[in-house]
C-alpha cells in the first residue's frame, strides 16, 4: 500500500473498532540487559561520554533489538507501533552530545518500524499495521521559568524548539511513518512548536500526515505540568485538527480515568489513552499485571470513552495482548459534534458561544 492508502485504511478502521497501540519501550529495552558497547556500536566507539541509557541510539547501533520489539508488539495485537525516537531531538540529545546523529536516529527508527509493519501487513492483510513517529517532550520548557528568582528566564527560545522539532519531523517523514505522535506533553507551548513544524512542512509541499497529540496529567490535580486543565489543553491544540488527542504516562488507569472522561466529553476527534501499569512502587517498578490493565481499559471501552488504547511505562507485550483481547468487539467511542463557539485557554478554558 502507498502511504495515503495506509492513512485511509487507518481512518476507516478507527470508525469500526478500537485501535491498539503498543506499550512501553524503556522497560522492554531494560529487559535486554544491554551493555555500553551496544549503545556505542562502531559509530560511537570513541564518543567521550557514557551512552548507556540513550535508548534512541539503538536505532543506529542495535537495529535488531528495535526491530524485535516492534515485532513483539505487533504480534501481541498492536495496530500501531511507535518509532524508538522519543528523545531524538537536538535539544534532548545535547545531554549526550549526540545532536549530530538526530536525523539518522529518526530516519533509521522510522525505516526499522516500517519494515516490520509491512511484513506483518503482508502476513495478515486483513489487519494492516501502522507506524507512528514518536515525538517526545524536551528537557527544557517554554512555559515555565528555569530560575525561581526570575519568572522570565528560559533555557530555550520558541525558535530553537521549533527548529529541533522540525528536524525530527523531516527525518520521520522521510523515513516512512504514517502519522506523527506528539506525546507525553508536559508543556503545551513546546507542543505548539511541534505542531507548527508539522503544518509548515505541509505548506512547503511535504505529504500531509495525521497528527496525534497526547498530553500528560502529572498528578491528582488534573493539570499538565505547565498548569493547564484537560479542557484548556484541548482548546490550545484543537486548531491542528488532530486525528486523535489523548493522555498517556504519569498516572495508572485508575487515576487517569476521570481525565480521559473529561477529554472524551470535549474533544470532537478520536480520543486515545495509554496509561502506565499503575503507579511505580518504592523501587520505581510497576506491579500492575497485564490482566489488571486489560480489565480496567475494557471498562473504559464499554463506557464509550476511547477510540485508541495502549500502554505506557511498565507495560509489556503481554499487557497489550490483554488489552487487545479485552476490547475486541467493543464499539469505539462516537465522536461528538459540539456546538460552534469561540473556545480559548490559559490555564483554564474559556468559551464564548
Q: Which of 204, 205, 206, 199 is nearest to 165 (CA)?
A: 199
In the sheet that 270-276 helps form, which strands lie side by side, from edge to edge?
A: 19-20, 308-309, 270-276, 244-252, 211-215, 179-185, 130-135, 80-82
312 belongs to an annotated ligand binding site: yes
Cell 534512541, residue? 56
Using alpha carbons only, how large is the chain's radius of gyration in Å? Answer: 19
- Show Cβ contacts of residue 112 under 8 Å, excluding neighbours closer than 6 positions: 59, 63, 66, 67, 70, 83, 84
Q: Which of 20, 24, 55 is nearest to 314 (CA)?
A: 24
Residue 81 in contact with residue 116, Cβ under 8 Å? Answer: yes
Task: Extract the C-alpha cell encoding 311.
Answer: 500502554
249 belongs to an annotated ligand binding site: yes
313 belongs to an annotated ligand binding site: yes
Annotated binding site for Zn(2+): 249, 312-313
Annotated binding site: 249, 312-313
Amino acid at each position: 500500500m502507498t502511504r495515503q492508502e495506509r492513512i485511509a485504511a487507518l481512518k476507516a478502521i478507527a470508525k469500526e473498532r478500537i485501535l491498539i497501540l503498543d506499550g512501553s519501550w524503556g522497560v522492554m529495552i531494560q529487559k535486554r540487559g544491554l551493555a555500553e558497547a551496544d549503545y556505542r556500536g562502531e559509530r560511537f566507539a570513541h564518543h567521550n561520554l557514557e551512552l548507556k541509557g540513550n535508548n534512541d541510539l539503538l536505532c543506529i547501533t542495535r537495529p535488531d533489538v528495535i526491530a524485535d520489539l516492534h515485532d513483539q508488539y505487533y504480534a501481541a495485537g498492536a495496530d500501531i507501533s511507535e518509532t524508538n525516537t522519543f528523545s531524538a531531538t537536538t535539544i534532548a540529545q545535547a545531554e549526550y552530545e549526540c545532536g549530530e546523529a538526530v536525523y539518522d536516529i529518526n530516519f533509521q527508527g522510522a525505516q526499522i518500524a516500517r519494515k516490520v509493519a509491512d511484513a506483518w501487513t503482508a502476513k495478515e492483510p486483513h489487519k494492516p499495521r501502522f507506524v507512528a513517529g514518536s515525538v517526545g517532550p524536551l528537557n527544557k520548557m517554554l512555559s515555565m521559568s528555569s530560575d525561581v528568582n526570575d519568572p522570565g528566564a528560559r533555557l530555550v527560545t520558541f525558535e530553537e524548539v521549533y527548529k529541533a522539532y522540525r528536524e525530527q519531523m523531516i527525518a520521520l517523514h522521510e523515513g516512512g511513518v504514517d502519522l506523527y505522535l506528539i506525546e507525553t506533553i508536559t508543556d503545551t507551548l513546546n507542543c505548539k512548536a511541534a505542531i507548527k513544524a508539522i503544518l509548515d512542512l505541509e505548506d512547503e509541499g511535504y505529504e500531509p500526515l495525521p497528527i496525534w497529540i497526547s498530553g500528560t496529567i502529572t498528578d491528582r490535580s488534573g493539570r499538565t505540568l505547565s498548569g493547564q486543565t484537560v479542557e484548556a489543553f484541548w482548546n490550545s491544540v484543537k486548531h491542528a485538527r488532530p486525528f486523535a488527542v489523548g493522555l498517556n504516562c504519569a498516572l495508572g488507569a485508575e487515576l487517569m480515568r476521570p481525565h480521559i472522561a473529561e477529554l472524551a466529553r470535549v474533544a470532537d476527534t478520536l480520543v486515545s489513552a495509554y496509561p502506565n501499569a499503575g503507579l511505580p512502587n518504592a523501587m520505581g517498578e510497576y506491579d500492575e499485571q497485564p490482566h489488571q490493565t486489560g480489565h480496567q481499559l475494557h471498562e473504559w471501552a464499554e463506557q464509550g470513552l476511547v477510540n485508541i488504547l495502549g500502554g505506557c511505562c511498565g507495560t509489556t507485550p503481554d499487557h497489550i495482548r490483554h488489552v487487545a483481547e479485552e476490547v475486541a468487539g467493543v464499539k469505539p467511542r462516537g465522536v461528538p459534534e459540539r456546538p460552534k463557539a469561540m473556545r480559548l485557554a490559559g490555564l483554564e478554558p474559556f468559551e464564548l458561544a
